[in-house]
Structures are given as structure tokens and as C-alpha cells.
């Protein structure tokens, strides 16, 4: 499952899951047992698909974060004074923002 899922597609998937679960909850007392089983099966299937997609996306984010951290580490090792300067600038900005509160 090496598909690329954007945040919009994940939102749509979660909305679909929520809609399915709302259908199940809303109609649980109105439907006969056969339809109840059909709705429950659909909800379980949607939940399983959503979990797989979220897991795939989570793995992708972890991988990208590790790559970025490795690149940042290499940059700081290659340019230590620039790294110190960037760290100091970020510290000053955070200090100013905190002081304004």
C-alpha cells in the first residue's frame, strides 16, 4: 500500500467513517436484524480501511521526519556557526514572543 494520501483524502475518509457510524447509531433501533448486521459490517469495513490508511500515512510522516532530521544534522555538522546563529535567532524570537505576553 504505497499510495500517497493527502490530508484532504484522510479527512474525507474520516468523514465517511463518521457518517457510517452515525447511520449505525441513528438507525440501530429502527432496522431489522439483517439490515443491522449489514450496517455493522459496513462500519467495521470502513473502520478497518481508515486504520490502514492512517497507519500508512503515519509511517510516511515518520520516515519524512527522520530524513529531515538527518539533513538538518548534516547541515549543522557542515556549517556549525550557521547552526549556532540559527539557534540563537530562534531563541531570541521565542524570547520576544514570550516577553510580549
* 28-66 pLDDT per residue, tens: 666 677 777 787 787 788 778 878 888 888 888 888 899
Taking the C-alpha atoms of residue 56 and residue 89, their distance in angstroms, rounded to an integer, is 36
Taking the C-alpha atoms of residue 54 and residue 1, their distance in angstroms, rounded to an integer, is 12
- Model's pTM, two decimal places? 0.47
Instruction: Say yes or no to pLDDT of 67 above 70.
Output: yes
Taking the C-alpha atoms of residue 50 and residue 17, their distance in angstroms, rounded to an integer, is 7
Q: Three-class SS of residue 67? A: helix
Indicate the domain borders of the chain. 7-100
Instruction: Say yes or no to pLDDT of 23 above 70.
Output: yes
pLDDT for 5: 53
Amino acid at each position: 500500500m504505497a499510495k500517497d494520501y493527502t490530508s484532504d483524502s484522510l479527512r474525507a475518509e474520516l468523514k465517511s467513517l463518521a457518517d457510517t457510524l452515525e447511520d449505525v447509531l441513528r438507525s440501530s433501533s429502527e432496522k431489522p436484524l439483517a439490515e443491522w448486521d449489514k450496517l455493522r459490517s459496513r462500519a467495521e469495513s470502513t473502520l478497518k480501511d481508515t486504520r490502514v490508511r492512517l497507519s500508512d500515512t503515519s509511517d510516511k510522516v515518520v520516515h519524512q521526519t527522520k530524513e529531515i532530521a538527518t539533513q538538518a544534522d548534516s547541515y549543522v555538522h557542515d556549517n556549525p556557526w550557521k547552526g549556532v546563529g540559527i539557534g540563537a535567532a530562534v531563541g531570541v524570537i521565542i524570547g520576544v514572543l514570550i516577553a510580549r505576553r
